[in-house]
Chains A and B, each alone.
Chain A
């Protein structure tokens, strides 16, 4: 396959970026999207040019590191996958592919296609935990039976890999899906109920401080989420937040 690439290049956080054109030939369908970029980079290195920097690590869709906006969609055209799981068979000969970093005010570009997602770190530090010491001096695990339905829902919320696709997909660059997934996981478990009020207040406050936008229920985040995190979580977080506000 022959592929025409338009890739965002930006030297560093303070420089201005621009789209640069590259053409690739001999691309096979079995190659992953990132392997295609590896080949491009090898080519650039051999020509003495500076290769394109992009974030990636596990290359099996679980670490949440990769973060490319491909033809305007986070993680590219397929659903329920990250970029590293995208294969070139999803494209055809002669296609033009535009590759950009995730775009959001709260995710400043570090270099080329790499963004700074520390805002997510700070949201979790504000309350994304259960305050239990790690001494192991807790009750036996089976002393806390949990309805399978709730356990499954908590698991589904906990499947979030923190990649930021939800923010990149949202026209308001809202982090509601991400934040609500964490709030939901703990809100659904008896262990997490104890601090539920403070948790939702602290996490939402931090989310707002980071400059993420508001949620206007377009649902783009759920569509683009590689783990299929449900909008239901946003509803649950709103409910938790409201009830926390009433309790004061």
Chain B
């Protein structure tokens, strides 16, 4: 491999992390006071890392484009966070969590990283509880769990449908404590526009104050990129409107390799698109698949009648429904992993069984769960001969207690009552497994530059399991980076503050200003959204749930042409030295127009199907993903060489010593 050294420690899998911690360099507490760290992004990964660094004694600067660190999009995670606590006594263990995650990722993640993730997962829950995160509890006062897709145990901790919010508030509170002590300086409404390298090391950033438009220089001894994923390049997604790849992409342009850009998660249970005006898609938590059954009509004529409004789903008899996940995957049923569930929905809709006006929706039905919970409730409250209507009422109450906020959200958006008629859902872009390539220390290929959370690539392989993103973000920030960053910073105890009046900062700032000037002075024909929507269509049609060589080649050409058009004709009103949301958007879309092309190139190179990457040419006769371990058991890591088409591919071979690599089956 040469250039890509993953730095995985030697020794048995379960001992690697402890051994590594014992062997890496430490910085003594007095010296930490002389060392600065920049953290870009304040979601679960960035927020937890910043708080932990500050506690250790480093001087931290955090940057986020939101008006408060607490608003990062980790806050929108609904369902839960995994941990191998085995509180339910159902046979869970670090190994099983590790195994499920590697298998869920379709054998395209790094064993040692995933094991470490599983190993620290239990500690995350302890930490969060001690911070006052109000997880759901049972009547005995102990923590409750539920199940998520792709696993056979209950290991997901949750706080109703707002787990991400509660965990982020925990990390944010830890940050606040350090802001109060003066150990963190929080820059809100700021956006990182470039990474500054000095002698080949990451030593600072160029940022824009989004309120005044001022371009600022900030230096540090190390920079952590925790700016999330790039799924917004699809325009429509479950990401927040501001989510962008700028920090990660500008880091890539400065030399950090970008890994597996084509690995995208398309989440199966989102509210379907309602029209051209749509600006974003809303997720309905995977936890709903604990109780909801997914189906489409068995007969094409019924589906047609439903689409035309002549038939209601509740009128369809049981035998006329096709519970296709239960049919195809009896062992996991409605709780198959996300990539499998999404593809299965697309398959049914493509075959003509879709149930909304556009034919792009399937049903998620709670009727069986309402009746089951209702009967149980009737029995436990001594109502031996309750009638169906009464049982239904009791059942609806139980379902409301479990998923009330999600049902309310659905009703607000769709204007239908999901207690009375099944929800309509369709897959939507939700997460990107690809990201900046990092080694075992979470360091990118630029010394001193680290990447954490969704911004890196390391733990989820080609498909992420539900409730694992929160786990990874917090593992990276609370328990990995605080150790591994010291190994690099140990060489900087005598460096002293990094000056910003140097040639390196001059040049980086000039690049940034040039780019802004180009955007402001383009011909001004089409708005930023015009380009973003066009890019989104290309991505969704050619690089979405299923891909083929021809479509990918078209996408590469179309994106390159769109990018050229953008730089010539984009229209950015207002001024650069002012609050200017259009300019913010323009900078972000400019980067999406580059990563989009690399994304398609990566998907074209990977002549196999794995996880979220489904190439139509490579499938089994039953339509399941067909991996090619002989030729593609590697991480693709792209080196920036100017135009995206010139990017150079490096490969990190994946070695599996503890898990037998086999066909992923959920049947």
Q: Is A65 a contact partner of B67 (Cβ separation < 8 A)?
A: yes
Give min CB distance, A151 to chain B, whole Å: 4
Q: Is B578 a contact partner of A63 (Cβ separation < 8 A)?
A: no
Q: Of residues 121 to 139 in B, which have CB atoms within 8 Å of A's CB atoms?
A: 123-132, 134-139
Q: Is B581 a contact partner of A64 (Cβ separation < 8 A)?
A: no
Q: Is A31 a contact partner of B73 (Cβ separation < 8 A)?
A: no
Q: Is A124 a contact partner of B176 (Cβ separation < 8 A)?
A: yes
Which of A29, A44, A139 contacts B130, CB < 8 Å?
A139
Distance, CA A134 to CA B170, complexed state (A): 10
Q: Is B412 a contact partner of A145 (Cβ separation < 8 A)?
A: no
Q: Which residues of A contact B177 (CB under 8 A)?
A: 125, 129, 131
Is residue A246 contacting chain B, with contact meaning CB distance below 8 A?
Answer: no
Q: Is A57 a contact partner of B143 (Cβ separation < 8 A)?
A: no
Q: Is B279 a contact partner of A34 (Cβ separation < 8 A)?
A: yes
Type the 1/0 row for A62-100, where 1 means its CB is closer than 8 Å to any CB of B.
111100000000000010110001010100000000000
Stretch touching chain B among A154-162, A169-177, A212-220, A236-244: A154-162
Q: Do A159 and B162 contact each other (CB < 8 Å), given the known contacts A133-B55, A191-B130? A: yes
Give min CB distance, A229 to chain B, whole Å: 13
Is residue A208 contacting chain B, with contact meaning CB distance below 8 A?
Answer: no
Distance, CA A162 to CA B241, complexed state (A): 19
Q: Is B126 a contact partner of A141 (Cβ separation < 8 A)?
A: yes
Q: Is A154 a contact partner of B211 (Cβ separation < 8 A)?
A: no
Is residue A25 contacting chain B, with contact meaning CB distance below 8 A?
Answer: no
Q: Which residues of A contact B66 (CB under 8 A)?
A: 57, 63, 65
Q: Which residues of B contact A1 (CB under 8 A)?
A: none
Is residue A21 contacting chain B, with contact meaning CB distance below 8 A?
Answer: no
Which of B140, B172, B529 contacts A145, CB < 8 Å?
B140
Q: Is A128 a contact partner of B176 (Cβ separation < 8 A)?
A: yes
Q: Is B75 a contact partner of A58 (Cβ separation < 8 A)?
A: yes
Residue of A35, A60, A130, A139 most packed against chain B (CB within 10 A): A60
Is residue A178 contacting chain B, with contact meaning CB distance below 8 A?
Answer: no
Residue of A56, A58, A59, A158 most packed against chain B (CB within 10 A): A58
Stretch touching chain A among B219-227, B270-278, B540-548, B599-607: B270-278
Q: Is B142 a contact partner of A145 (Cβ separation < 8 A)?
A: yes
Q: Nearest B residue to A88 by beta-carbon distance? A: B277
Q: Is B142 a contact partner of A126 (Cβ separation < 8 A)?
A: no
Is residue A233 contacting chain B, with contact meaning CB distance below 8 A?
Answer: no
Q: How many residues of A contact B (CB 8 A)?
A: 79
Is residue B573 contacting chain A, with contact meaning CB distance below 8 A?
Answer: yes
Q: Is A110 a contact partner of B211 (Cβ separation < 8 A)?
A: yes
Q: Of residues 179 to 212 in B, which have CB atoms within 8 Å of A's CB atoms?
A: 179-180, 186, 188, 211
Q: Is B143 a contact partner of A142 (Cβ separation < 8 A)?
A: yes
Residue of B67, B142, B413 most packed against chain A (CB within 10 A): B67
Q: Is A186 a contact partner of B67 (Cβ separation < 8 A)?
A: no
Type the 1/0 row for B133-160, where 1 means its CB is closer than 8 Å to any CB of A.
0111111111100000000000000011
Which of B85, B173, B482 contacts A141, CB < 8 Å?
B85
Type the 1/0 row for B573-593, where 1 means its CB is closer than 8 Å to any CB of A.
110001101100000000000
Q: Which residues of B contact A60 (CB under 8 A)?
A: 76, 238, 280, 282-283, 409
Give min CB distance, A188 to chain B, whole Å: 9
Is residue B615 contacting chain A, with contact meaning CB distance below 8 A?
Answer: no
Distance, CA A185 to CA B159, complexed state (A): 13
Q: Is B68 a contact partner of A136 (Cβ separation < 8 A)?
A: no
Distance, CA A89 to CA B141, complexed state (A): 43
Which of B67, B68, B129, B165 contacts A144, CB < 8 Å?
B129
Q: Do A185 and B130 contact each other (CB < 8 Å), given the known contacts A63-B66, A125-B179? A: no
Q: Is B68 a contact partner of A120 (Cβ separation < 8 A)?
A: yes
Is residue A247 contacting chain B, with contact meaning CB distance below 8 A?
Answer: no
Which of A50, A62, A159 contacts B574, CB < 8 Å?
A50
Distance, CA A57 to CA B65, complexed state (A): 10
Distance, CA A136 to CA B174, complexed state (A): 13
Q: Is B76 a contact partner of A62 (Cβ separation < 8 A)?
A: yes
Distance, CA A26 to CA B277, complexed state (A): 11
Q: Which residues of B contact A48 (CB under 8 A)?
A: 573
Q: Is A134 a contact partner of B51 (Cβ separation < 8 A)?
A: yes
Q: Of residues 90 to 117 in A, which have CB atoms within 8 Å of B's CB atoms?
A: 110-111, 114, 116-117
Q: Is A111 a contact partner of B277 (Cβ separation < 8 A)?
A: no
Distance, CA A148 to CA B142, complexed state (A): 8
Q: Which residues of B contact A63 (CB under 8 A)?
A: 66, 71, 73, 75-76, 240
Is residue A28 contacting chain B, with contact meaning CB distance below 8 A?
Answer: yes
Q: Is A162 a contact partner of B68 (Cβ separation < 8 A)?
A: yes
Which of A61, A124, A135, A147 contacts B409, CB < 8 Å?
A61
Is residue A20 contacting chain B, with contact meaning CB distance below 8 A?
Answer: no
Is residue A12 contacting chain B, with contact meaning CB distance below 8 A?
Answer: yes
Distance, CA A126 to CA B602, complexed state (A): 48
Distance, CA A45 to CA B528, complexed state (A): 10
Q: Nearest A residue to B142 by beta-carbon distance? A: A142
Q: Is A57 a contact partner of B134 (Cβ separation < 8 A)?
A: no
Give min CB distance, B154 to chain A, whole Å: 15
Give min CB distance, B554 to chain A, whole Å: 27
Q: Which residues of A contact B343 (CB under 8 A)?
A: none
Q: Which residues of A contact B179 (CB under 8 A)?
A: 125
Q: Nearest A residue to B55 by beta-carbon distance? A: A133
Residue of B68, B211, B415 most packed against chain A (CB within 10 A): B68
Distance, CA A121 to CA B175, complexed state (A): 11
Is residue A53 contacting chain B, with contact meaning CB distance below 8 A?
Answer: yes
Give min CB distance, A130 to chain B, whole Å: 5
Which of B76, B87, B131, B135 contacts A58, CB < 8 Å?
B76
Distance, CA A94 to CA B126, complexed state (A): 56
Which of B129, B139, B579 contacts A110, CB < 8 Å?
B579
Q: Which residues of B contact A35 (CB under 8 A)?
A: 277-279
Type the 1/0 row for A25-39, where 1 means its CB is closer than 8 Å to any CB of B.
000111110110011
Q: Is A58 a contact partner of B240 (Cβ separation < 8 A)?
A: yes
Q: Which residues of A contact B137 (CB under 8 A)?
A: 145-146, 148, 151
Is residue B166 contacting chain A, with contact meaning CB distance below 8 A?
Answer: yes
Q: Do A30 and B275 contact each other (CB < 8 Å), given the known contacts A59-B241, A124-B173? A: yes
Q: Which residues of A contact B75 (CB under 8 A)?
A: 58, 62-63
Give min CB distance, A165 to chain B, whole Å: 15
Q: Do A59 and B529 contact each other (CB < 8 Å), given the known contacts A121-B68, A191-B132? A: no
Distance, CA A154 to CA B240, complexed state (A): 27
Q: Which residues of A contact B279 (CB under 8 A)?
A: 32, 34-35, 38, 59
Q: Is A129 a contact partner of B579 (Cβ separation < 8 A)?
A: no
Which of B241, B482, B529 contacts A42, CB < 8 Å?
B529
Give min CB distance, B213 to chain A, whole Å: 11
Q: Which residues of A contact B85 (CB under 8 A)?
A: 141-142
Which of B134, B173, B176, B574 contacts A189, CB < 8 Å?
B134
Q: Which residues of A contact B412 (CB under 8 A)?
A: 78, 81, 85, 87
Q: Do A53 and B132 contact each other (CB < 8 Å), given the known contacts A34-B279, A158-B166? A: no
Is residue B408 contacting chain A, with contact meaning CB distance below 8 A?
Answer: yes
Which of B51, B52, B123, B169 contacts A158, CB < 8 Å?
B169
| Residues of B in contact with A (beta carbons under 8 Å apart) | 48, 51-52, 55, 66-68, 70-71, 73, 75-76, 85, 87, 120, 123-132, 134-143, 159-160, 162, 165-166, 169, 172-174, 176-177, 179-180, 186, 188, 211, 238, 240-242, 274-275, 277-280, 282-283, 408-409, 412-413, 415, 478-479, 482, 527, 529, 571, 573-574, 578-579, 581-582
Q: Can you identify 18 A-B contacts, CB atoms within 8 angstroms?
A: A30-B415, A31-B275, A38-B277, A38-B529, A45-B571, A45-B573, A45-B582, A46-B527, A60-B283, A63-B66, A110-B211, A121-B176, A129-B174, A136-B120, A141-B129, A142-B143, A155-B134, A191-B129
| Apart from A48-B573, A85-B409, A155-B134: 18 A-B pairs, beta carbons within 8 A | A30-B275, A35-B279, A38-B529, A44-B573, A45-B527, A51-B581, A59-B241, A62-B162, A64-B70, A65-B71, A80-B408, A114-B579, A124-B173, A131-B177, A134-B48, A134-B52, A141-B128, A141-B135
Q: Which 6 A-B pairs have the closest CB atoms?
A: A145-B141, A129-B173, A136-B123, A155-B134, A138-B130, A141-B129
